[in-house]
Amino acid sequence: MLHNYSIPPKTYFEIASLGYLLVLYLISFNDSNRERIRTYKLFRSLEINMLIALFVSILTYVFAYPELGTPIVICTILRTMDSIMCVMASRIFVVYMLEYVDSAKKFKWIRVFGNAIFGLYLALMILNLPLKFILWYNPDGTYMHGSLFVPIVFSPPVYYLTSGMILLIIRMRTLGSREQLSLSAASLITLFGTVIQAATDGAILLSLPFGSAGIFVLYFSLETADYHELIRSNDKLRIAEQDAIKANRAKSDFLANMSHEIRTPLNAVLGMDELIINEIGPEKIIDDSSVDRIRGYADNIKDAGHLLLSVINDILDLSKIESGKMEINEAPYTLHKLTDEVDTMIRIKAEQKDLKYIQQTDPSIPDRLIGDELRIRQIMINILNNAVKYTDKGEVKLEITSESVSEDVINLRISVRDTGIGIKEEDLPYLFGDYKRLDEEHNRRIEGTGLGLAIVKRMTDLMNGRIDVTSEYGKGSVFTVVIPQTVNKKLNDGEDESSLKKDKEAAYKTPDCTYLVVDDNRINLIIASKFLDDLGGKVETSLNGPDSLQKMREKKYDMIFMDHMMPGMDGIQAYRKAKEDPENLNPDTPMVMMTANALHGVREEYLEMGFTDYISKPVDINELKRVVRLHIPQEKIVVGD
C-alpha cells in the first residue's frame, strides 16, 4: 500500500543544511593529505556525524509516523537515533574545540565527565526502548514524550556547548585571534540553535542547521589548507626558536664552564709565579732550598700550562670535527710503544690518587699495525683520564684485546674499567653530547669541560669504530672502544719511520746561525729567543713589521720567525713586502710563521702563501727544533750535545 508521505515545513531548514553540508563535504573530500592533523580529523568526523544526523532527522520527521504506515518499532528507533546523533554531534563539536582550547590536556576531567554524561545518556535512551519514559509511541500510534524528555535529550548538548564555551573564555588568551573568533562564533551559533529547539519543545528544528552553519564557519576559518600551512610553519618556527634558545643556553653554559676551566690553571700559573717572585725576594738571595721550591713552582706552572693547552686543543678538535675537517691519517705504528707511552702517562696520575693502575695487552695482538696512532692515543688517554678523574679509590684497568676481522684487519678492543662514581642509567644517553657534564652535583669539584667524550665518540666514528659504555652508579664504569686496524705485514715500515724520527730528534746545535724573531709581544720574544739560545747561535728580535723589514735590509739571517697578528703591518704583509723589497738581503731565507692562530687549515694557508713552515703557539721547544733542523742548511748543523 502506498502512503502519502509529506515533508513537514519544520524540516526545511534541515533539508537546506543537508544540501550545503553535502557541498562542503565534497569540497573537503580531496583534502586527504591533511588528515594527519588531529583537529582536521575531528573536524571530518564532525562533518560526517552532522550529515548522518541531518539525514536521520529528516527521515524521522518524514517517515516516523505510524499513521503513514511506518511500523511503531521503526518510528521509535528513528526517533531514538535522531536524538543520539544530535547529542553525538554536540559531543564531537566540543571535543574538537578542546583540541584548540586545551591542546595540552590540562582539563582532562572535562573530557572524562563529558564521556560519562554521554554514556549515561546512551544507557537511558536504550532503557527507554522497553520502559518508555523518555519518548515512545502509544499502541494507537500517537507519539509521546514524558517530562524527562527535554532534560535528558537536551541537557547533554547544552552542557557540552556551555562547558566548552566557558573553557573557551578561560583559555581565550592562549588562542590566536582567528581561533578565538571562529570557535566563539561556531559554538554560539550551535548553542543558539539548540536552545531554540529545546525551548520550542522541538517545534522548530534548528539545532542541526545551526550546528551545520557552525561547521561552515570552522571550515573556512580554521580548517583551510592555507591556515593549516600557516600553523605548520608557525610550529616549525616555534621549534626552531626553541632549538636556538637551547643552543644559545648550551653555548652560555659552555662559556661559563670554559671560563672556569681556563681560570683554574691560570690561577695556578699566576699563584705559582707570585710564589717564585716572593721566593726570590727583594734581596734576590736564593739558597738551595729556595731553588728546589722554585723548581717545584715552575713544574706546577708547566702542568697548568699543559692543562690550559689541552682545553684549547679540545675545543679546536671539536670544531674541526664539527666542520668535517678532522682527518684520519693512517700510518704504520707499533702497538707496544703506544701502550708504553700511555702507561707512563696514566700510571703517574693514578698513583697520585693512590689508585691501582693495571694495563694488560693480549700478547697475541699483532704489534705492527697501520692506523692513526695519534687519534688512538688521544682516545685511550681521554677515557683513562676520565677513569682516573672519576675514581677515588680502587683501580683503573686498561685491557687491550683484538679479534680478527679478515686476514689483514683486526678489531682493536680497548676496554677501560674503573671502580669510580659510575654513571646513572638515565644519564647514559647524554654521555657523548657536546659540552655535556653529567651528575653535576657530584662532579662540581672535578675539572672537566664535557668535551672529551664527545671528541672520543666522533673520532671513533671517523675511524669506523664504535664505543660502548656500561656503568653501575656508585660502583664503576666500563668504556669499550672497538676500532678496526690494518695489520702491517711489511717488515721494515714502522722501523724506518721511527729511526728517521729518532735521527731528526737527535740533539744538535747551530752555533753559526743567526735568527730573527718578529713578534709584537715581548714575552713571546723572550720565550722564542731562549728556546733558540738552546741551539747556540745568535738571536735577534723585532717588535713590528717595518722594523723587521729594516733588519732584513741590514743583515742576512739563517731563519726568520714571523708572528701573524701584529698592530699596523701584520706578519703576512711584512712577508709580502720583504719578498718585493729589492734591498732585502734575505729573499731566500726560510721564513716560518709562528702564530697563535691554530685553527684547522691555517697551516696549509700559510704554506700556500709561501711561508716555509708553521709553528703554533704556545711554542713547543721540540717542534721548534724540528722545524729548524728541517730548514736550516745542513752544513750549519752540528749533531751531538
**Contact residues for ligand ADP (CB under 6 A)?**
386-387, 390, 418, 420-423, 431, 436-439, 443, 448-454, 477
Name the residue type at position 456. V
DSSP state of 620: P
Phi-psi region of 144 (alpha: psi -120 to 50; beta: other; left: phi over 0): beta
Of 35 and 447, nearer to ligand ADP (C-beta) is: 447
Min dist. Cβ of residue 323 to ligand ADP (A): 20
Of 86 and 454, nearer to ligand ADP (C-beta) is: 454
Min dist. Cβ of residue 112 to ligand ADP (A): 43
Name the residue type at position 526. I
Min dist. Cβ of residue 448 to ligand ADP (A): 3
Min dist. Cβ of residue 416 to ligand ADP (A): 7
DSSP string spanning 4-45?
Answer: -----GGGHHHHHHHHHHHHHHHHHHTGGGGTTSHHHHHHHH
Min dist. Cβ of residue 469 to ligand ADP (A): 8
The pairs formed by 224-231 with CB atoms below 8 angstroms and a separation of 24 or more are 225/31, 225/34, 227/178, 228/34, 228/37, 228/40, 231/37
Sign of the torsion angle spanned by Cα atoms 406, 411, 412, 418:
negative
Of 390 and 575, nearer to ligand ADP (C-beta) is: 390
Of 418 and 558, nearer to ligand ADP (C-beta) is: 418
Cell numbers that stand for 534 in this block: 738552546
DSSP state of 274: H
Which residues lie below 8 Å from residue 343, measured CB to CB, with a gap of 6+? 357, 359
SS (H, E, C) 530-578: HHHHCCCCEEEEECCHHHHHHHHHHCCCCEEEECCCCCCCCHHHHHHHH
Min dist. Cβ of residue 455 to ligand ADP (A): 8
Of 332 and 450, nearer to ligand ADP (C-beta) is: 450
Cell numbers that stand for 20 in this block: 550545503
Which residues lie below 8 Å from residue 107, measured CB to CB, with a gap of 6+? 98, 167
Min dist. Cβ of residue 598 to ligand ADP (A): 20
Min dist. Cβ of residue 375 to ligand ADP (A): 16
Which residues lie below 8 Å from residue 267, measured CB to CB, with a gap of 6+? none
Of 165 and 387, nearer to ligand ADP (C-beta) is: 387
Cβ atoms of residues 197 and 5 within 8 Å = no
Cell numbers that stand for 91 in this block: 559531543
Of 443 and 498, nearer to ligand ADP (C-beta) is: 443
Min dist. Cβ of residue 300 to ligand ADP (A): 21
Looking at beta carbons, which residue is closest to ligand ADP? 448
d(CA 49, CA 211): 11
Min dist. Cβ of residue 441 to ligand ADP (A): 10
Min dist. Cβ of residue 632 to ligand ADP (A): 40
Of 118 and 435, nearer to ligand ADP (C-beta) is: 435
Of 227 and 473, nearer to ligand ADP (C-beta) is: 473
Q: Name the β-bridge partners of 359.
A: 398
Of 482 and 560, nearer to ligand ADP (C-beta) is: 482
Cβ atoms of residues 520 and 562 within 8 Å = no
Of 387 and 578, nearer to ligand ADP (C-beta) is: 387
β-strands 591-595, 538-542 pairing: unpaired
Min dist. Cβ of residue 50 to ligand ADP (A): 58
Q: Rounded to an integer, what is the distance from CA 6 to the centroid of its chain?
A: 69
d(CA 135, CA 630): 106
Please name which of 334, 335, 359, 331 lies closest in space to residue 345, comparing C-alpha atoms.
359
Min dist. Cβ of residue 156 to ligand ADP (A): 57
Cell numbers that stand for 377 in this block: 692515543
The distance in angstroms from the start CA to the end CA of the chain is 129
Of 351 and 472, nearer to ligand ADP (C-beta) is: 472
Rounded to 10 degrees, the C-alpha dihedral 286/287/289/292 comes to 50
Cell numbers that stand for 613 in this block: 713552515
Query: For the purposes of burial, counting CB atoms within 10 Å of the CB of 501, is it exposed (0-12), middle (13-18) or buried (19 or more)?
Result: exposed
Of 157 and 448, nearer to ligand ADP (C-beta) is: 448
